[in-house]
Amino acid sequence: MNGIEAAACASSRTAATRIGVGSIGNDNSSCQGKSTMMNLAVWRIDESESSSGQARLLPVERSPLGVSEKQLEDWIAADAKLIGGGLTIVGRQVYIDDGILDLLAIDGRDRWVVLELKAGRLDAGALHQALYYASSLARLSADDLRAKLEPKLKDFGDAEMLSARLRQLLDSEAEGGPRKIAVALVGVGISAGLERMQDFLGRFN
């Protein structure tokens, strides 16, 4: 694995806050094992301001109200930009080793992004679980990973286009070098312990 990056994202029914260690999305800079602080982003979930009747995300201040894990997963699966620009979702509820990975994406830097969602407050346990999935993903063969993802690609858009994206990334990995993986945590609030870990990792910018 080439420099796992972790982003902690706190979300609620009226707000979703992204604040963490490591950048995901279209940033073309190389991690090289170092961590970079993300910008703070806050949204409000508002169903009344949408003509379609579906919830919209609008910039507001932070809120402590809760949201279900399925809601978080639905929102991110439908619009990965909530986590970072340039993300392409390629897997949901992916069985890996003895657990289930919530969401798997590919970012603009050709990295796999493990998205670990929690309906409650994010803590060190959430980071441990995400890193566990990342380490499992790192050792999966290209054929095994493709077999896990291909059947459900149609759930995330043009299956043919997504399949080509998978094939391109897996082929590039086969040419040499370790699989590049980033980690993002999404939940309702961030524990003091996780914030301390975030601050510590930020020293290595």
**CATH number of 80's domain:** 3.40.1350.10
Read off the pLDDT band of 27 (50, 70, 90).
Answer: very low
Domain housing 161: 5-202
Reported as a single tens digit per residue, the pLDDT across 188-204 is 778 888 888 877 777 76
Residue 133 has pLDDT above 90, yes or no: yes
Which residue in this structure is represented by tokens 């620009």?
Answer: 85
Residues 6 or more apart whose CB falls under 8 angstroms from that of 151 comprise none
Reported as a single tens digit per residue, the pLDDT across 143-159 is 999 999 999 999 998 99
pLDDT of residue 62: 44
* 105 DSSP β-pair partners: 89, 113
Number of domains observed in the structure of the chain? 1
Read off the pLDDT band of 4 (50, 70, 90).
Answer: very low
Reported as a single tens digit per residue, the pLDDT across 47-103 is 555 555 566 655 544 444 456 788 888 888 988 888 777 899 999 999 988 889 999
